[in-house]
Structure 1
């Protein structure tokens, strides 16, 4: 899937299937990020097809290996994560001495972001599951853990996320990569 590599490559600045670059998507306002539903599959791709966007890219082994070995691609992926963290009501700073890890804290105006996902059921819960798993697949496991920990801190305070959703997030973070959070399997990931 050279398209994913080109999309994330800061030199190439390739487009998604709708002609949008990563920079364009990350420049969107929060309302557009909330209302658009066809960008998340490219910005945080997975090795399994999306049930909601059948033309979205799917990570293959070659793409995963290119990402995990490229500081430029991982740097752009981290930039995408930071944008989504702001959307969800968090500030993020690089963790000193830990490459591709973050210190994630609620923003001063966190309620503006938290209302998008601090609820029993919400479409952003699926996006969050995707983000956690995508980060792990593409070589940012530490950032995935940092995001998960921030989510759990908010859950502990507000107790509004369903146990089912927490289970999906936990499986996205902790299961061997070959297993999808919904119980599926990607056989080629068995060796990773």
Structure 2
């Protein structure tokens, strides 16, 4: 049971709704926007979701397993590419406040912790290009959260996810 996130990202496990990663990656943009229980599986964190009760929580052992498994890392990269396409193709999140701003923080944090800061920076730069091209409609607090997610790791997260 403790390797559920790893199995999901590696492509041979199922999320809490019974979907495989390939199913989630095949979501159209409307489904990406409307379904709220997949993001915690694609971009796991070591703290419980306040939005989706029962969503998985990343453990140190599972983080290490993901980092050591090329298939899981490929799954995480594929999920990142899918979300990048979503943010490039849609405009609904380009406003002062939107639930996607929390998703972006989660994505950046998971990328930083599981793949590395370069992956997080690349995603951040892509998101920021869209924000700037739209006239910078996103609230300043979200922008700060995104930058912090890329650049820093708090002590608790470092203790939990240290390799």
* TM-score normalized with structure 2 length: 0.90
Q: RMSD over aligned Cα, in angstroms? A: 1.7
Report the equivalent of 1:132.
108
- Larger fraction in strand: 1
- 1:186 shift after superposition: 3.6
The yes-or-no answer on 1:145 pairing with 2:121 is: yes
Alignment of 1:45-64 (within 5 A): 45-64=44-63
Report the equivalent of 1:82.
81
Report the equivalent of 1:155.
131
The yes-or-no answer on 1:7 pairing with 2:11 is: no
* Alignment check: 8 A CA contact 1:41 1:57 kept: yes
Alignment of 1:104-123 (within 5 A): 112-113=89-90, 115-123=91-99
Aligned-partner SS, 2:65: helix
CA distance in 2, matches of 1:190, 1:9: 19
Q: In structure 2, do the counterparts of structure 1 residues 2 and 190 end up closer, same or farther at CA, with 3 Å as the change threshold?
A: closer
- 1:176 shift after superposition: 2.1
Q: Which has the larger radius of gyration?
A: 1
Report the equivalent of 2:145.
168
CA distance in 1, matches of 2:161, 2:27: 37
Structure with more contact order per residue of length (Cα contacts < 8 Å, sep ≥ 6): 2
- Structure 1: give runs of 5+ residues left out of the alignment: 90-111, 179-184
- 1:64 shift after superposition: 0.9
Matched length? 161
CA distance in 2, matches of 1:59, 1:190: 9
CA deviation vs aligned residue, 1:90-117 (integer Å, no higher than 9, x gap): xxxxxxxxxxxxxxxxxxxxxx42x132
Report the equivalent of 1:189.
160
- 1:142 shift after superposition: 1.6
Q: In structure 2, do the counterparts of structure 1 residues 137 and 154 end up closer, same or farther at CA, with 3 Å as the change threshold?
A: same
* TM-score normalized with structure 1 length: 0.78
